[in-house]
Amino acid sequence: MNTLITMQYVGTKYHGFQVQQNALSVCEVLQNALEKLYGTRPPVKGCSRTDSGVHALCYCVSFIQPKPIDPQRLPLAINMFLPDDIRVISAQKVADDFHARYSSKSKEYIYRIYNSSTDDVFRKGTYWRFSKRLDVSAMQAAARLLCGPHDFAAYMSAGSKIIDTVRTVHFLTVNQQGDDITIHICADGYLYNMVRIIVGTLIEVGTHRMKAADVADVTKSKDRSKAGDTAPAEGLFLYKVNY
């Protein structure tokens, strides 16, 4: 039975989802749990590669169950063998040709900024604390210029072997509630570190080191050095996968 599970995890101590040779990954921990449950280690298909330290509110994994367990019972069964910072929250049967990554139409991420001079001790590790006050209106204006199909080469970290760097951003919003700023993006695909570099560029606009209109020039340049710094991983969450 091809099964889709949806997970949440705090990525602080994990080196992303994908299995790493010399570091602990979410995938390794999940497969360890599945092996204990089924008595065999099934291959799994993750919806996305996430960087070290990135969190997930909705991470999707598909796999063929070695022996069928009712999807309603499956989350509890897997969670018995998972640590507290990883949880399966739902499961469902899917078509035989369904693939958690390649069947997706778009993915959504949120990035959390805590615009304060002091940390929130109860949420530390799940946001980027930025002490200088940010001009959210300017950031919103810049975000609008990044929507639609563009060549996002300027927002890709060096070292990527991707040739086609055109992606379509369906929406990119910047919302503020008190000291909390949330950047929400939905796109048909992402380049390496694209979201975090976009966030870093919006920070440049929010601190007036760059004008909102300059973002269009950064995009046209296709030059990584023209964009902002890569924002820290701890503020980034995979928010939703759309199928």
Q: For residue 50, what is the domain's CATH number?
A: 3.30.70.580
Nearest to 30 by CA among 78, 66, 62: 78
- What is the count of structural domains for the chain? 2
CA pair distance 31, 140, nearest whole angstrom: 41
64/127 same-domain check:
no
152/238 same-domain check:
yes
27/111 same-domain check:
no
Choose, from 51, 84, 119, 188, the residue flagged as catalytic: 51
Q: How confident is the model at residue 24 (pLDDT cuts 50, 70, 90)?
A: very high
pLDDT in tens, 144-172: 999 999 999 999 998 888 999 999 999 99
pLDDT in tens, 112-131: 999 999 999 999 999 999 99
Return the structure tokens found at 199.
């966030």
51 given a catalytic annotation: yes
CA pair distance 206, 139, nearest whole angstrom: 5
pTM above 0.75, yes or no: yes
Q: Given phi > 0 = left and psi -120 to 50 = alpha, else beta, which region is 172?
A: beta
Which residue bears the tokens 């969190």?
55
Torsion of CA 94, 100, 102, 108, to 10 degrees: 120
The pLDDT, as a whole number, for residue 161 is 83
Give the DSSP H or E segment for 206: helix 194-206
Which residue bears the tokens 């990584």?
224
Residue 80 has pLDDT above 90, yes or no: yes
- 64 HSE (CA, 13 A, CB side): 5
Q: Where are the beta strands (DSSP E) in the chain?
A: 2-9, 45-46, 55-64, 86-93, 106-114, 128-129, 148-151, 166-177, 180-187, 236-242
The pLDDT, as a whole number, for residue 120 is 95
Query: What domain range is 88 assigned to?
Result: 2-93
33/88 same-domain check:
yes
